[in-house]
Amino acid sequence: MNTVIRRRLGLLAICAVSGAFFVEAHAAKSAKSSPSSSKTTSRFSSFVQKLNIEGADDFMRPNTAPFLALPPNAPSKAYVVDTLAREGDRQPEKLCKLVLEQPAADSKFTPTCIVLINGFTALETSESYHYKVGLDGKLLAAVQLSGKYNNGKPVRGSGVKTDLDINSPEVQSSFKKELDFWLSVMYKKYWKPKTGVKTAQN
């Protein structure tokens, strides 16, 4: 009887050690970045550097910047895609802004985050999605803005802001689609560098 008990105890000890080893190995594997995520991070970093060099001088709109916890009129470097084909009475609009800050009066401007904007204006309505993205490519905040238009002009007081859940599958999916647009070569079909020319979006 003692021999049987000793054998069972020995088997339990082996199982316990094997289980602990499996858990540690799985945790170590999970801690490593996947090749795809590392590649995306590298592409995003290169994109940020390129945008900072060739983007047009711009700034954050004072009526939307606070919604993303950004200073009104914060300077930025921007790609503005305003030549997308009209869809019925809707005019699509895409922007990508690298938001900058100047830590001290005598220091250079440095990037803080990126804001991706995807929306449209129509005869009577407007709608846009704003994604605030960290310099590591992760989504930090997202808001939906909508409003009414009259004869091509926004109706004062009609604007509505909706904070979006950045962890929801729907928001993550739409954000990924927007990010892929900018990280791929698609935006180059609609935007070309214009040295010294400021945008007229604000």
Place of tokens 């409003």: 147
pLDDT tens column, 185-197: 677 666 655 544 4
Q: What is the 3-state secondary structure (H, E, C) of the chain?
A: CHHHHHHHHHHHHHHHHHHHHHHHHHHHHHHCCCHHHHHHHHHHHHHHHHHHHHCEEEECCCCCHHHHCCCCCCEEEEEEECCCCCECCEEEEEEEEEEEECCCCCCCCEEEEEEEEEEEECCCEEEEEEEEECCCCCEEEEEEEEEEEECCEECCCCCEEEECCCCCHHHHHHHHHHHHHHHCCHHHHCCCCCCCCCCCCC
Going by pLDDT thresholds of 50, 70 and 90, the confidence category of residue 54 is confident
What is the pTM for the complete model shown?
0.73
Average pLDDT over residues 152-168: 89
The CA distances from residue 159 to 31, 63, 67, 155, 156, in Å, are 43, 10, 12, 8, 7
State the Rg of the chain over Cα. Answer: 25
Residue length of the chain = 202
69 confidence band (pLDDT: 50, 70, 90): very high
> pLDDT tens-digit profile of 20-43?
333 333 333 433 434 446 777 888
